[in-house]
Amino acid sequence: MRFVSSLLPSILLMLLAAPAFGAVHLDRLTLPKGFHIAVYSDQVPNAREIALGAKGTVFVGSMDAGKVYALTDTKHDGHADKVRVLASGLEMPVGVAFRDGNLYISAVSRIVVLRDIENHLDDPPKPELVTDKLPSERHHGWRFIAFGPDGKLYVPIGAPCNVCDKGNAFAKLTRMNADGSDAQDVAYGIRNTVGFDWRPGSHQLWFTDNGRDMLGDDIPSDELNRLSRVGEHFGFPYCHEGDILDPEFGKGHRCKDYTPPVLKLGAHVASLGMRFYAGRMFPAGYRGAILVAEHGSWNRTKKSGYRVMTVRLDGNKVASYQPLITGFEQDEKAWGRPVDVQPLPDGSVLVSDDLAGAVYRVTYQP
């Protein structure tokens, strides 16, 4: 290794701790030998989910900024020399998903779309409504969205609380057609997933999930899960991390009746964006691995997370769980918080950071 160049409480703490955007400290980051990290753009306040356009545009949603950004690298030098605001005034537009020339954006109770967006980056169209039938609760109301191999738009409905039982109305993953029709439930017992992807080859859906708060520093763990069938239940609010019954809602339930995680990621690490790595730039051992952005704890005595991790698989089992990037937090002080990871066609990987208001590009050269 070497150096290289609850909603209201959580948001309040983030705001109080946040430095000015652009306070990037690449010299504090540690990556495995041969890996390098550089700033792709430091002009993206509240940078959250990343999506790629067909013509190379990098789209980034935001949270508190209420904006959606388009980053373009016109010089092809690994740095976005143009940053445009495509939409503003949206309600926590965290999620962005690109399909057939159109950019879909989550905005709590709504999904909107910018049509033919890559041909109108300088004069973006007005957002067009796809659906306004999603819950309006802001607690876990920001949504990571993505199109699956089936052509459906997958949209999570997080629990509107730290822990509560709202039946099948919340704490689930749904999908719909691109026009908002035929909405269906896909899976239940998911407290709040802010990252999912489909495994190349099998097209199986894998996702991260944030564990509940207020059970202490070390439980429950965040989860990495795999969906094996529609209608599967992953335990929330009755069972956490596959083996801990909730002290209030677990009465009368058994953890063995719910699907356990494939991997316990650690308590309060705030696992968010995750993607499978299928590129050729990184060493062969990374091919087919999962990259996970861990945003970092806000309610733990000693901070956890604040890193990007690599999960290598052996079939459907975890072979290893190791750091790719660390150093966003040092001596209990954080200057950055990773949110999403997005491989590029050349095999490099973008990482968004909503605390520093930046997007980084990770490359490998021995």
Q: Give the DSSP letter string of 147-165.
A: E-TTSPEEEEE--SSSS--
* Residue indicated by tokens 């629990």: 159
Asked whether the beta carbons of 294 and 308 are under 8 A apart, the reply is yes
CA nearest neighbour of 172 among 160, 189, 197, 184: 189
**pLDDT(306) > 70:** yes
- pLDDT (0 to 100) of residue 19: 38
Q: Find the domain containing 212 and state its range.
A: 2-364
| CATH at residue 149 | 2.120.10.30
* Rounded Cα distance, 225 and 150, in Å: 20
Strands 338-343 and 333-334: unpaired
> Encoding tokens for residue 332?
């209990």
**pLDDT(64) > 70:** yes
37 bridge partner residues: 362
Q: What is the pLDDT of residues 7-32, one digit of tens each?
A: 334 433 333 334 345 589 999 999 99
> Encoding tokens for residue 123?
């004069």
Strands 232-233 and 184-188: parallel
Give me the mean pLDDT over the 68-96 stretch.
Answer: 97
Q: Above pLDDT 70, what percent of the chain?
A: 94
Whole-model pTM: value is 0.93
Asked whether the beta carbons of 33 and 282 are under 8 A apart, the reply is no
* Rounded Cα distance, 171 and 191, in Å: 5
Residue 287 burial (CB count, 10 A): 15
* 3-state secondary structure (DSSP) of residue 251: coil
Q: What is the pLDDT of residues 42-51, one digit of tens each?
A: 999 999 999 9
Q: What is the pLDDT of residues 72-84, one digit of tens each?
A: 999 999 999 999 9
Q: Give the DSSP letter string of 318-364.
A: EEEEEEEEB-SEETTEES--EEEEEE-TTS-EEEEETTTTEEEEEEE
* Total domains in the fold of the chain: 1
User: Does the N-terminal peptide bond of residue 220 adopt cis geometry, omega within 30 degrees of 0?
Assistant: yes
* Rounded Cα distance, 205 and 227, in Å: 5
Q: Which of 82-86, 297-301, 350-354 has the lowest mean pLDDT?
A: 297-301
* Identity at 209, one-letter amino acid code: D
